[in-house]
């Protein structure tokens, strides 16, 4: 079943369970936040593949995430500092007029298969940890502490791993649209291992001119 939803296109992917800090200054998105606060606090987030977050005229993907506002601070000049959390996936069925803010008809997009073997989930976590450890040698991202234990049910752990993986936004979008936890974790391991190979090449000097 489709339903209308205010949308916030961004140059980033939001995963269910992940936090989303926003600095809201455009009038249309201030209007969106005000409308959300009057209702259930939910809006949609989709990745922009071309164009800018500011001013409109962007190109947007068709699968995104519902975000729910957790906290808002309104500044004296009208700007808003918003913290939201990803809730669930949605598919955009139709974009509506952007006046007074971007809107779309969306449909919830639950995973068809939420099960995943412990081996696949463990391999995905190992790949994320390995990539972050390698990138930490370049000074790009910190490694994950060995003592860090990722908690929750399998779905929660899977989304946390997706959010921890330092991948491009297009690769993150591939993870978001993957149909099922096991498929998503297999893809996550594949993407992280491919990027780890590139980083090893840089560290060893193979990527030097």
DSSP 8-class letter at 148: -
Residue 98, in any domain of the structure: yes
Claim to verify: residue 96 and residue 122 sit in the same structural domain? no
Domain endpoint, select from 51, 85, 108: 108
What CA–CA distance (Å, rounded) separates 175 from 167? 10
- pLDDT-based confidence at 52, cuts 50/70/90? low
Q: Per the domain annotation, does 168 fall within a domain?
A: yes
Q: Note the pLDDT tens digit of each residue in 53-111.
A: 555 567 899 999 999 999 999 998 889 999 999 999 999 999 998 889 999 999 999 98
- For the cut 50, the answer to whether the pLDDT of residue 113 exceeds it is yes
d(CA 127, CA 129): 5
pLDDT, mean of residues 190-206: 90
Question: Is 69 found in the same domain as 131?
Answer: no
**Which domain covers residue 172, as residue numbers?**
118-204
Domain boundary among 48, 76, 108: 108
Position 65 scores a pLDDT of 98
Both 61 and 134 in a single domain?
A: no
Closest to 103 (Cα-Cα) out of 205, 173, 179, 3: 3
Residue 209 included in any domain: no
- pLDDT above 90 for 43: yes
Specify the CATH number for the domain of residue 92: 2.30.130.40
Query: Over the chain, what is the mean pLDDT?
Result: 92
Q: Give the pairing type, strands 2-10 and 42-50.
A: parallel
Question: Does the residue 134 lie in any domain?
Answer: yes
**What is the percent of the chain with per-residue pLDDT over 90, rounded to a whole number?**
81
Whether residues 148 and 78 share a domain: the answer is no
Higher-confidence position of 88 and 114: 88
Domain count, the chain: 2
- Band (pLDDT 50/70/90 cuts) for residue 204 is confident
Within this chain, do residues 96 and 129 fall inside the same structural domain, yes or no? no
């Amino acid at each position: 079943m489709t339903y209308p939803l205010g949308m916030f296109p961004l140059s980033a992917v939001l995963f269910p369970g992940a936090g989303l800090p926003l600095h809201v200054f455009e009038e249309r998105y201030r209007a969106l936040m005000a409308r959300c606060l009057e209702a259930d606090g939910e809006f949609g987030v989709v990745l922009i593949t071309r164009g800018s977050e500011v001013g409109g005229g962007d190109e947007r993907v068709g699968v995104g995430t519902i975000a729910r506002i957790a906290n808002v601070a309104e500044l004296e000049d009208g700007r808003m500092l918003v913290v939201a959390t990803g809730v669930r996936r949605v598919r955009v069925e139709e974009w509506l007029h952007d006046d007074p803010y971007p809107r779309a008809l969306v449909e919830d997009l639950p995973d068809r298969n939420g099960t995943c073997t412990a081996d696949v989930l463990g391999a995905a976590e190992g790949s994320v940890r390995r990539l972050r450890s390698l990138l930490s040698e370049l000074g790009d991202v910190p490694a994950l502490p060995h003592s860090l234990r990722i908690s929750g049910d399998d779905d929660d752990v899977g989304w946390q791993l997706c959010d921890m993986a330092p991948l491009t936004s297009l690769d993150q979008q591939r993870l978001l649209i993957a149909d099922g936890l096991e498929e998503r974790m297999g893809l996550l391991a594949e993407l992280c291992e491919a990027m780890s190979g590139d980083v090893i090449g840089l560290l060893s000097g193979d990527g030097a001119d």
